[in-house]
Amino acid sequence: MDLAPAPRHPLDDRLPGRLPPPGGHPRPRHHRPLGNPRFGFNPDNLTALADPAYRTVLLRSLGYALITCLICLAVAYPVAYAIALRGGRFKNLLIAAIVVPFFANYLVRMYGWSVVLSDDGTKVLQTGAGVVAGLVYGFVVFMIIPLYAAMERMDTSLIEAGRDLYGGPLRTFLYVTVPATRQGAAAGCVLVFLPAMGDFVSAQLMGGPDQIMIGNLIQDKFFQGQNWPLGSALTMLLMVVLFLGMLGYLRRTRKDEAEAAR
Amino acid sequence: MSTGSTTSTPSTANAPSTANAPRAASTPSAPKRRRRRRTAERRPRFAIAVTAVFFALLYLPVGVVVLFSFNSQKSLTVFEDFSLRWYTAFLQDDVILDSLGMSLQVSLVAMAGSLVLGVALALGLVRSRSRLRSFAGLVMLVPLITPEIVTGVAAMLLFKGLGITLSTTTVMLAEITFSISYVTVILRSRIAALNPEVEEAAMDLGATRRQALRLVTLPALLPSILASAVLIFALVFDDFVLAYFTTGVDPQPLSVRIYSAIRFGVQPTINAVGTLMLAGSVGLIVLALAIPRLFGRRGGLDLLSGK
């Protein structure tokens, strides 16, 4: 199996002006060994972010993270439902069985997952689907736990009521269970979305050069490209995007809480 | 589960006796009623099937790593024969053993450091009357919701900006900073749940503030403190991203070493190392979950609700 080495993407070639000059930056070497940044203000790295190539990577990362959230929701709802409502005395054991491997080494799990996917013969590796599969595998637990907690708290007589009103299983689920556990789902989405946006292991092990995410770009700028200022600017960009998302989430939950209080 | 039995028995017991008599006259509603009764009792087959598949997929990759760590061949697809070949290879690999030693060192130091600071911070966050309290509580949560790559980049730039060469020490510092949040989140609720009157009583009996803390409060918190200690050890030992950004060249933490190994092709030694790491972490997590129970208390460490 060929685990792709760090994807060298074409973006570096597009920014010749921002690569260090052949002799390195002029600086007192005895004070600042190679690799240390020179501090100072320079807007170039922020304007470099306007490059459409970065926008593509950012949008792709957003897309992957969103799809990951949706798949995690689709997986976590049945799992949380089955465990919370039908787990009986095995409930805690089942949840522990989910949590424990999640705490165990992330890299080893991802690596095992990439081996499984490559064995599959379905050519999932080196595609966007492979990256999303990695992200889902890595972070689905963050969705299950808050959803499970919400379902545990949920008044199960509501489900009975839904059935008594002749709602089928699907309709009861959509009109009773989902609204009652909405906050757990929202918390889960945030908890999955944030690390998925920043991840670079999944795209590295399971994606090709065309599936790099913003995390890979940042990593590349710091370790291969040696362009730390640009890497920092990209990190800022990631933070700003996530911060805006968090603001939206907080406003939403405030509104929910205000409604609940009324 | 109690709710399952209480909800299902009345519906079966009540249905014939109370509902039959009036409904018997209206024939069209009879089949509907029967269907409803069945759906109310039906097991959610779909959800259970998804759960089964989920568990299979959750453990399959881990199982593959463990299984092939015992393979006599290098292959990851064909299991030839049981052998401990890759474990002996691991024991003879000085570079990996150095990394293991460094990871253990970092985890121990990070555990100790973050416990001291985290317990202090948790006490402060619960007891302080300062207006900074809620702000500090918010700041403390930031590492938990920031993607690790951002924390890692920030830590690396901070060290470099201060002119500190990246080394084992910088990894320790970064991991301590990161772990404080976990300790504080776990302990905060326990401290809030303590009965303040016990401490007041101790002081009424002549204990100083410090004695009350040492003889009353900390012993009461001991199960949670031990549990978070074990948890932090496991988290730091397994951590990759933060270690990756803050480590120097040599030695490197074990997870970073694994990362560079799997990037450049399959090396079965990694299966052996990975298996040992998984076994170690799983053991520690189970221990962390079990400690509060060993002390005979309920709800000492609640990973699930975070409350």
CATH number for B212: 1.10.3720.10
Residue A209 C-alpha, separation from nearest chain B C-alpha, in angstroms: 14
**Does residue B150 lie in a domain region?**
yes
**Does residue B33 lie in a domain region?**
no
CB-based contact (8 Å) between B131 and chain A? no
Contact A238 B149 (CB under 8 A): yes
Contact B157 A232 (CB under 8 A): yes
Q: Where are the alpha helices (DSSP H) in B264-297?
A: 268-294
Residue A262 C-alpha, separation from nearest chain B C-alpha, in angstroms: 24
Contact B303 A99 (CB under 8 A): yes
**Does residue B259 lie in a domain region?**
yes
**Does residue B114 lie in a domain region?**
yes
**Does residue B71 lie in a domain region?**
no
Euclidean distance between CA atoms A73 and A134, whole angstroms: 15
Checking B85-94 for CB contacts under 8 A at 24+ apart, the result is: B85/B268, B86/B268, B86/B269, B86/B271, B86/B272, B87/B272, B89/B268, B89/B269, B89/B272, B90/B269, B90/B272, B90/B273, B90/B276, B93/B269
pTM: 0.79
Total number of domains in chain B: 1
**Does residue B305 lie in a domain region?**
no
Residue A82 C-alpha, separation from nearest chain B C-alpha, in angstroms: 6
A207 close to A128: Cβ distance less than 8 angstroms: yes
Exposed (0-12), middle (13-18) or buried (19+): which is B82, by Cβ within 10 Å? exposed
Domain containing B148 equals 102-295
Locus of tokens 């918190």: B221
Q: Which of residues 150-189 of A touch B (CB under 8 A)?
A: 156-157, 160, 163-164, 166, 168-169
A132 close to A65: Cβ distance less than 8 angstroms: no
User: What's phi and psi for B256, nearest 5 deg?
Assistant: -70, -40
**Does residue B17 lie in a domain region?**
no
Q: Which of B274, B285, B304 is opposite residue A111, by nearest beta carbon? A: B274
**Does residue B255 lie in a domain region?**
yes
Q: What is the pLDDT along chain A (262 residues), one digit of tens a residue?
A: 444 444 444 444 433 333 444 444 444 433 444 555 566 777 777 777 778 888 889 999 999 999 999 999 999 999 999 999 888 888 888 998 998 888 888 888 998 898 888 866 667 778 889 999 999 999 999 999 999 999 988 887 877 787 778 777 788 888 888 888 888 999 999 999 999 999 999 998 888 888 889 999 999 888 887 788 888 888 988 988 888 888 888 887 787 777 777 6
Give ipTM to 2 decimals. 0.77
